[in-house]
Structure 1
């Protein structure tokens, strides 16, 4: 049976150092995987449109399929990538960006591979920052060279009830809208840096066709420079007929209320955060599931917050599997609060 929900995005392999120094090497990630798992918290099956390299962890692939993610939209490449992103978190949930190496490089440099002290983290960060590997292909490079295409989408998926477009180049998003919008799908989109590098005028052809736009605070400020959060949300809502919400990390989410012309706060769900990687993507997957189910952006944001809370308690996109949907639904009753 074709999945009712579909996510479109990337598959990556990540190295993570948590705020307390725990190390997790070669973790399966990517905005496609995380958003699919976020949606799977609420739906028995989710389709994934992506492209996977030969070196993507096969155990993770099996685990995703076992628990309800349909990989019928994944194109398989025989290319192997040795290098992974490093996400090194501090106590506030901030992380270093732009650092990469093969997972084995940590041990080869003489560091332990289970937990690092603050001094060891600082030394390792410095080594990564100075590392040179001019011929190395990153997962971002791979996605640019292998953009997702409509031909990957199984015919039966083209009438999905809901589709989330994880961060991709504008051309990919527009092509996927052409695939899914005619079937009446609810379509949500996360801009990522891929859209945040453009102006509002340049991405209006996307905004005008989607049912929810879900930027992070950094992306929102990049899209509407110099504006406060409320004014920035209003500016985007003027171009997007659907819901608009900004992700604030551990501070929750603000959803734009068109009737009140004001943002409404949806608090984060309680979580013992281990690895914040993929929190925003899993939120988007949960938001999609909630919006399809309820039609209410505030309730959808609550679904998203709960999905994100489950993801951050584990390493890797598959760490929260299998989901306990009954327990998750029991947490939906908490009220949202008006933003001061």
Structure 2
């Protein structure tokens, strides 16, 4: 089946400690997986481009495939990783990351594996920092040694209407963005720390190739330092072929409306966030689907908000599967009625 949308990004195994101390070990994630499921909330077939380690759970890949994620663009590499990424959240929504360990190390260190007290969370984080990478290859390092390349994208993926590039090194984007643009696809781009390390001038050649740039608030502030977030958003949007939207976590997002020359706020859908790890990536997948379907970035952000609300209410990228698309459409209708600026009428996605 030809995918209607394509997402390109990583596949990881994550360990999560939620703000209430709940522990979830060895959950499947990665910005490629989360963005593909975010897009899957709206379309029946989404093509994934990624490079996967041999130890990535095959049953999860099968579940993604059975739910509508095409895996023809996923390259399996004979490298096994034992350690996963830790994502540790506090009550204010802040996240500690870039810490790794094998899942069994938590119990081996004498900690419970279901829920930790605040003091235990602090103690475990301190232990992880002392541990470092343990001399093991991390998922981030794996993506550097085994980057995605344009040559792995199947020809039938290029008949899709849109593509999203999740956070990746500039060398990867320099390969993928021209490929997607050369086929006239709607293209969206997330920043991540990989692009937040650049200046806005350095990033401009990439922004000129995208219909929407979707950084987080922290990433946008790093790219355009020292100015209010609305001004930074306007400056980033001016470099884009399309526009830009900044993700504000539980405060929703701001979309730069180039017609009105002003930001438009799109709220989140109130949700009990069990695992916020994939919120931004699933938002991007939903945003792509909405932008392809409607051509309106404000309405696209509402699609993204619905996708994110579904993902964060469960653990892992596959927790929301199978997708109830009718429920997503109902949530979208409720959300769009609350947006201050009325979006343009939706146009159906052609077959």
Structure 2 residue 167 is the aligned partner of structure 1 residue 167: yes
Consecutive unaligned residues of structure 1, counting only runs of 5 or more, are: none
- Asked if the contact 1:15–1:26 (Cα under 8 Å) also holds between the matched residues in 2, the reply is yes
Indicate the residue corresponding to 1:278 in structure 2: 278
How far residue 293 of structure 1 moved from its aligned partner, in angstroms, is 0.4
Distance 1:229 1:18 in 2: 28
8 A contact 1:159–1:180 mirrored in 2:
no
After TM superposition, list the pairs within 5 Å mapping 1:159-238 onto structure 2: 159-238=159-238
Residue 337 of structure 1 aligns to a residue whose secondary structure is coil
1:247 CA displacement = 0.2
* CA deviation vs aligned residue, 1:110-167 (integer Å, no higher than 9, x gap): 1111111222212111111111445211000000001100111001111210000000
Does the 8 A contact of 2:11 with 2:29 survive in 1? yes
Q: TM-score, normalised by structure 1?
A: 0.97
5+ residue gaps, structure 2, are: 342-351
> Helix, strand or coil for the counterpart of 1:254?
strand
1:97 corresponds to which residue?
97
Count of matched residue pairs: 338
Partner of 1:299: 299
- Which residue of 1 is the match for residue 4 of structure 2? 4
CA distance in 2, matches of 1:46, 1:167: 18
Q: Is the 8 A contact 2:160 2:185 kept in 1?
A: yes
Which residue in 2 is equivalent to 1:27?
27
Query: Which residue matches 2:324?
Result: 324
Distance 1:68 1:251 in 2: 31
Residue 56 of structure 1 is matched in structure 2 by: 56
Shift of 1:97: 1.9
The match for 1:158 is 158
Q: Which residue of 2 aligns with 1:312?
A: 312
Distance in 1, Cα, partners of 2:12 & 2:340: 36
4+ runs of 1 displaced by more than 4 Å?
none
Q: How does 1:22-171 map to 2 (within 5 A)?
A: 22-171=22-171
Distance 2:35 2:61 in 1: 15
- Structure 2 equivalent of residue 17 of structure 1: 17
Is the CA contact 1:159–1:184 (under 8 Å) kept in the aligned structure 2?
A: no
- Do 2:99 and 2:132's aligned partners in 1 also have CA atoms closer than 8 Å? no
Correspondence for 2:338 among 311, 322, 335: 335
Q: 2-side partners of 1:236 and 1:254: how far apart?
A: 12
CA contact (8 A) 2:28 2:316 kept: yes
Q: Distance in 2 between matches of 1:279 and 1:141?
A: 23
CA gap 1:133/1:279 in 2 versus in 1, 3 angstroms: closer
| Structure 2 counterpart SS, 1:98 | strand
* 1:248-263 map, 5 Å: 248-263=248-263
Structure-2 separation of matches of 1:205 and 1:226: 22
